[in-house]
A and B are shown apart, each in its own frame.
Chain A
């Protein structure tokens, strides 16, 4: 039997197995709405808009105008188990926002250096290659994971109707994680770089990430196994799986002394793609599945579509990583497998997108009034775009142009920024008022934040995708000197810096607003009464 038919047989067999497995988990497969989708609501919640980040009068008016019920906001804001996660979430969000500021500044400096190469060249820490690596690591190990874990930790007690177990351990874990990040960035800035993309932080520091991450994760895992609900809501699947996926990915990838030669490269992309696909993505999807229905007061349209979406994501996403090595010195069957699974990713993506669209249908006017919804829906739309773009980028014909170009960087930002970061923003806008028992002090700044980052992000994406395509076409033309592929990108790289500046401005607005809210909340109410406590 030749490898191709063997591969094909394995593929068909495992797909069949996957669908049988999904079928075995279904419950009322053909119902449009199953009871499972209502787990996130108390009976009072369904049928009216609700957003702690919005102007309460606007939401009241909206509820009345649309003929929906209007009930007092304080009634729905308080949930019995919220207090258990308050302080750990606060620590996670606070650190996430702190790292966001540095991460985006490092990104902006890198972007600027690419068209002004003589800017800041007098030390290793400031050189382009190092600055870009610092940007990536601050996002990948600072802002994004702390943000999504904070959201997950806040959602879990609500979803499971059980208090968070071991909140103090989670806080200690977050502290260790932050220390690890500082040590890791210091290592990179001093030339101690492990040499693999997304895994540059040396394994000696990685041990701290594993420890801190485990303390954060275990607190949620123990909560998961003590749950009191009859039904695990779709967000719980994504959170639960991601909590087990990430440690396996990180520990296997960082294991010293095991990997060698080209196998290291395949492991590298197995990790780097899966940390997106099996960690940031599922945790962000979990947030969308929670906040979107929650704000509009309507259960997810088709619960079974979400079941299909989850298991197909779990199955296909894990195997797509090698598409980063198309044309490279790796076994050909591996590339084919990853390309096929990249296309199969359209199934979970369409399932998710369709579901969100059908849930939101008829409620688009709420986007005008709910900041949370605006960020979350924008994020969900970018997830669809990023995934479809990613699937096509894996095709050899498309890849031939975009591989090795700025297009890849643009694509990474479509996922990590357009999707993940926007969802974190939206989630924090919803959650922080409930953690601090205090409203956002300057609602106008939320709009400023939104429009600055959306405008900046649009400029960023259009510029960088154009740069990538032009660069790719120039690289493919052997009659042109290599320098042509650099020259064509320059105006667009400047455009990227412009877009990036707007995004950074948006982040500064956000960080300022976050900090002001914390200061106001703590100064107007005694510290203890904010229920910034893990007791109970």
Chain B
């Protein structure tokens, strides 16, 4: 090969194929997919909790994609919810699909474990709730206070007995509360359309645009 222009042009053409396939076509195919009716946008607290989820790198161990293969099939049998579809992530920017299941999938964690107390305590020290867990605690999201010093607005975490010394309490910080609001809101149990149904719905919508 002698020509550097031919080299660069050729290599940009191959990259543009890849960009079409993985960026442009999904963009076109998915841009008009509506949000499922039952899916609600995040509350301000949940949105801040989602940011905390990103900031603390939760994605390093947790997926948010009940998948259609392998472990996803087993998870469905465990009762952890249906496989997710693109529309489920309508309000997610970016979606936090994740690649590791060192911890369990969290897409429906709000269904499985709705207790705020459980989540707060578990974030403080996971091994109080799940023996053998390798999840780190997040003590920096909490404050340890003397029982006498707590004020009315403090969210005192109810921990198993003996978890902290007598006379002390663990108070949840703002970020921990937001994170738990986000996690307990993770419920994607509403039915979604199959691709065929979605296609029909889109056709109907296209024919009668004035109805919107």
Contacts and interface: CB of A to CB of B under 8 A. Distances in A.
Interface in B110-142: 126-127, 130, 132-140
A327 B68 contact: yes
B45 interface: no
Interface in B25-81: 25-27, 29-31, 33, 52, 54-61, 63, 65, 67-75, 77-78
A154 to B, nearest CB: 19
B21 interface: yes
A400 B67 CA distance: 10
A25 interface: yes
Contact of A404 (B3, B19, B71, B94): B71
B70 A129 contact: no
Interface string A125-168: 00111111100000000000000000000000000000000000
Contacts of A477: 74
A232 interface: yes
A268 B93 CA distance: 12
B7 A133 contact: no
A161 B52 CA distance: 53
A104 interface: no
B118 to A, nearest CB: 16
A224 B11 contact: no
B86 A130 contact: no
B85 interface: yes
A129 B141 CA distance: 15
B206 interface: no
B22 interface: yes
A401 interface: yes
B22 A270 contact: yes
A486 B102 contact: yes
B14 A318 contact: yes
A250 to B, nearest CB: 12
Q: Which of B8, B63, B77: most chain A CB closer than 10 A?
A: B8
Given A241-B7, A262-B95, A476-B71, A123 B60 contact: no
A318 B18 contact: yes
Given A123-B140, A129-B60, A266-B23, A478 B55 contact: no
Contact of A278 (B15, B31, B58, B126): B15
B97 A328 contact: yes
B10 A21 contact: yes
B93 A264 contact: yes
A485 B70 CA distance: 14
Interface of A is mostly: helix
Interface stretch (A58-66, A169-177, A192-200, A362-370): A192-200
A244 interface: yes
B57 to A, nearest CB: 2
Contact of B69 (A127, A319, A396): A396
Interface residues of B, number: 78
Contact of B14 (A252, A314, A328, A475): A314
Interface in B99-113: 99-102, 104
Nearest to A241: B11
B169 to A, nearest CB: 19
A132 B57 contact: yes
Contacts of A28: none
A317 to B, nearest CB: 8
B75 to A, nearest CB: 8
Given A127-B57, A230-B2, A331 B132 contact: no
Nearest to B192: A329
B11 A314 contact: yes
Interface string A481-502: 0110111001000000000000
B70 A122 contact: no
Given A314-B14, A477-B74, 20 more contacts: A124-B56, A127-B56, A127-B136, A128-B57, A128-B60, A129-B57, A244-B8, A249-B15, A270-B19, A314-B15, A318-B15, A319-B22, A321-B22, A327-B70, A334-B26, A403-B69, A404-B71, A405-B100, A475-B74, A483-B133
Interface of B: 1-4, 6-8, 10-12, 14-15, 17-19, 21-23, 25-27, 29-31, 33, 52, 54-61, 63, 65, 67-75, 77-78, 83-86, 88-90, 92-102, 104, 126-127, 130, 132-140
Interface of A: 14, 21, 25, 27, 36, 113-115, 117-118, 121-124, 127-133, 191-197, 224-225, 227, 230-232, 236-237, 240-241, 244-245, 248-249, 252, 259-270, 274, 278, 307, 311, 314-315, 317-319, 321-322, 324-331, 334, 337-338, 396, 399-401, 403-406, 408-409, 471-472, 475-478, 482-483, 485-487, 490
11 contacts: A124-B56, A244-B12, A262-B95, A270-B23, A278-B15, A311-B14, A327-B68, A404-B100, A475-B101, A478-B74, A482-B104
